[in-house]
Structure 1
């Protein structure tokens, strides 16, 4: 396979779940060099705050809550009243946090959580009226492009495939020569794969095969090229969780930010032969993902096999950072 060189940029791309800095002296960006973003996702909702300096984002605070909005969608593909209340409550709470932090420049984005529902226009109007702020509902293509922009803040790259496995969709970008050739969202994510295919807490072998077949159908339907032999870059919570699980189970260095396809295969084998040991690792490290991590890993394995790569590079930055980078550099 062709060798690809890439280098990580910068010195402050921490992976800590929460990083808080206090800066007494700083350059001004509209009166403040801090910017925030709330990402209303299908599985989790995240608030992130960054310092914006010299055209770069440095994360200083992040908070995540698992809400599982995709599980509040009824048979007519409408978000239920309970789902609306969950969305409203978390947005109100996070905006209160930004006020406590003194951050006034806050963007709010929604992805498959609202993109995949029939009553999205009504829900958006209601939420925006309640919180008094606009919510930017990203199309699958825009979300994928923001993922690529986020990855570019970490890796100095001109070609590859970016994958972001969210709760309700999986974004895929194919780029060469520094330009994206294809950017779209597959309508399957770690949570929707669980809801659609898994009966128990974790998938059986048959259910894993069902999920993989579903992913392949979407790859074919959306004309994702096969055997690209390009480096694969992963972003988002599912990828970070998979990276953490692999590092723990395979006894890799905690700072390792690559996932070997062989290790994913060994994890899948452990799910058959040593399920209790594997589940204990998940319970200790990521209990809120106990039902979604294995569907997510199945999606990742299927895409890695499809594009023909043995290694996944896990990026600290993704859609949120890409969105802000695009917005702030366009201002």
Structure 2
């Protein structure tokens, strides 16, 4: 069986992911993976700028990733950037400097392309079961929503309302104040009007959350049940009544207290309050008893494309 190696670098607004894989005819095997809280959008995202400190963190991380890629003798590298870079006025200059100084070519993907790749990642995880689902991925810069089945996408859209943006716009006090939550919900009601119309039209009966915040919420849930996630498991169920308990707990605690919650990781502790509030908002329109949480998302969608050779890398 012939094999080849490939690398995926997902340059998110909050987190950079590196995934090194070995590909063959039957699928892929992860050689190595790492995630680093670069916080590329911090300090400039709502001004459409990549702050100087954020760029320094990005360069440091990308040099580290390049060393790991070279160590595995991988020459097929698919690096892509999302909301923070595509909206930044200095995003193109940043991409050019990375190419010149580090030798990594970055593809800046559109919001629609990001949504499609997230869908492909969710499909790869086996999260979809035939019903019409609303799928969502909460990033630092943008949030992608997809309505569809395992066979097709009926509707998809990316909204520039990611966790870092919402954090800087609404989360001024810690614990967050009820009036800040109220303002956040009013904002979502306006910004997500196209999504609410699509929900009314296609009437999804399931909710699938991809990666990131949903990984952390399921970690907290499993810890509360004194259970461990199984190695190699990519799909998890989170009962909505258990999510509600976690959500209320997150609203009531400050950062230091949230860090002490079993299952919490430091890179999620700032944005998880507004991200959880966004999920709470969505559940009003897609009332389910349980959420499906897919560990696979954007980077696995990229791997799916590499396996199918839909893209040249």
TM-score (normalised: structure 2): 0.86
Alignment of 1:135-154 (within 5 A): 135-154=106-125
Distance between the aligned counterparts of 1:88 and 1:276, measured in 2?
Answer: 28
Q: Secondary structure at the match of 2:158?
A: strand
Alignment-derived partner of residue 223 in structure 2: 248
Alignment-derived partner of residue 215 in structure 1: 188
Q: For 1:164, which of 137, 142, 150 is the aligned residue? A: 137
Q: Is the 8 A contact 1:41 1:166 kept in 2?
A: yes
TM-fit CA distance, 1:178: 1.7
Unaligned runs of 5+ in 1: 1-26
Q: Which sits farther off after the overlay, 209-218 or 165-174?
A: 209-218
Q: Secondary structure at the match of 1:167?
A: coil
> Is it true that 1:57 corresponds to 2:36 in the alignment?
no
Alignment-derived partner of residue 259 in structure 1: 238
Alignment-derived partner of residue 183 in structure 1: 156
* Aligned CA-pair RMSD: 2.5
Q: Is the 8 A contact 1:169 1:189 kept in 2?
A: yes
> Is it true that 1:303 corresponds to 2:282 in the alignment?
yes
Q: Is the 8 A contact 1:39 1:46 kept in 2?
A: yes
TM-fit CA distance, 1:298: 1.1
Q: Secondary structure at the match of 1:307?
A: coil
Q: Is the 8 A contact 2:129 2:150 kept in 1?
A: no
Q: Is the 8 A contact 1:190 1:296 kept in 2?
A: yes
TM-fit CA distance, 1:233: 1.3
Q: Is the 8 A contact 2:6 2:23 kept in 1?
A: yes
> Is it true that 1:231 corresponds to 2:206 in the alignment?
yes
Q: Cα deviation per residue 1:159-189 (whole Å; 9 max; x = unaligned)?
A: 3121101111111111147211111111111
Q: Cα deviation per residue 1:140-163 (whole Å; 9 max; x = unaligned)?
A: 111111111111112154431211
TM-fit CA distance, 1:45: 0.7
TM-score (normalised: structure 1): 0.82
Distance between the aligned counterparts of 2:99 and 2:223, measured in 1?
Answer: 41
Distance between the aligned counterparts of 2:8 and 2:255, measured in 1?
Answer: 38
Distance between the aligned counterparts of 2:86 and 2:205, measured in 1?
Answer: 29
Distance between the aligned counterparts of 1:74 and 1:141, measured in 2?
Answer: 19
Alignment-derived partner of residue 44 in structure 2: 73
Q: Which sits farther off after the overlay, 56-65 or 135-144?
A: 56-65
Quick one: structure 1 residues 90 and 224, their matched pair in 2 at CA, closer, same or farther if it must change by over 3 Å?
Answer: farther
Q: Which sits farther off after the overlay, 39-48 or 218-227?
A: 218-227
> Is it true that 1:206 corresponds to 2:179 in the alignment?
yes
Distance between the aligned counterparts of 2:97 and 2:73, measured in 1?
Answer: 26
Q: Is the 8 A contact 1:229 1:309 kept in 2?
A: no
Q: State how many pairs are aligned.
A: 301
TM-fit CA distance, 1:278: 6.0
